[in-house]
Amino acid sequence: MNPLNSCDFTQAGDPLVLFQRWFEEARQNEPNDPEAMALASVDGEGMPDVRMVLCKDVDARGVAFYTNAQSAKGRQLLASPKAAALFHWKSLRRQIRLRGPVALTSEAEADAYFAGRARDSQLGAIASQQSRPLESRAALEGAVARLAATYGEGAVPRPAYWRGFRLTALAMEFWQDGAFRLHDRVLFSRDAPEAPWSRQRLYP
């Protein structure tokens, strides 16, 4: 039996362990951006907004990603710190949905991740006034060039507005493709981050 197509996940007791197992299998087998997840938030009017981000850390606390906190998603998450996320690994025919509260990661975590990024990505993060109007591509490239000249070969410091967010799931739904659209779906839910999980199988 191919372990990537087995249904043993429906009997899993700890969704966080199962998530980490699926995430690692995706990293090994999904050819395109296995860390990509759709992240949904709401604006001040309650209108939902969704975009793709990269999950950069997974542990018992939740899934973490990094962004410009002054961007549209950053402002939305700070104003209404709840979100939903979706991982869809098309090649593996699997997906995981998460919902729950969002909080900033520590400054130290943001520093460590930023320091590990490629230098050009660091410069781009500073140059980009994310989500705001841009007059031309040349203006963006010019800003990057000026920053490169400013920092030379020295370290590029993390800007204060470039932060990490962590989504702590209160609900996690695992979905696996099945023949004739008889998919397997299992929902894990809890009332609070410290509460025990309950498990329920769902109709496809």
Specify the pLDDT at position 5.
54
Percent of all residues in the chain with a pLDDT value above 90, rounded to a whole number: 91
Residue 2 has a pLDDT of 45
pLDDT tens per residue across span 77-108: 999 999 999 999 999 999 999 999 999 999 99
Looking at CATH, the fold of the domain delimited by 3-115+160-202 is given as Pnp Oxidase; Chain A (2.30.110)
Query: For the chain, what are the domain ranges?
Result: 3-115+160-202
Contacts 24+ apart (CB under 8 A), 41-47: 41/73, 41/76, 41/77, 41/80, 41/82, 41/83, 42/76, 42/80, 42/82, 43/72, 43/76, 44/79, 44/80
Q: Give per-residue pLDDT as tens, 5-53.
A: 555 787 778 999 999 999 999 999 999 899 999 999 999 999 999 999 9
- Residues 62, 63, 67, 73: is their CA dihedral positive or negative? negative
User: Which residue among the candidates 27, 137, 181, 190 is catalytic per the annotation?
Assistant: 181
Average pLDDT in the 118-128 region?
Answer: 94
**Whole-number Å distance between alpha carbons of 52 and 37:** 5
Is 181 considered catalytic here? yes
The pLDDT mean for the chain works out to 93
Of 166, 140, 175, the closest CA to residue 58 belongs to 166
- Dihedrals phi, psi of 101, to nearest 5 degrees: -75, 155
Q: What is the pLDDT averaged over residues 57-67?
A: 95
Cα distance from N-terminal residue to C-terminal residue, the chain: 22
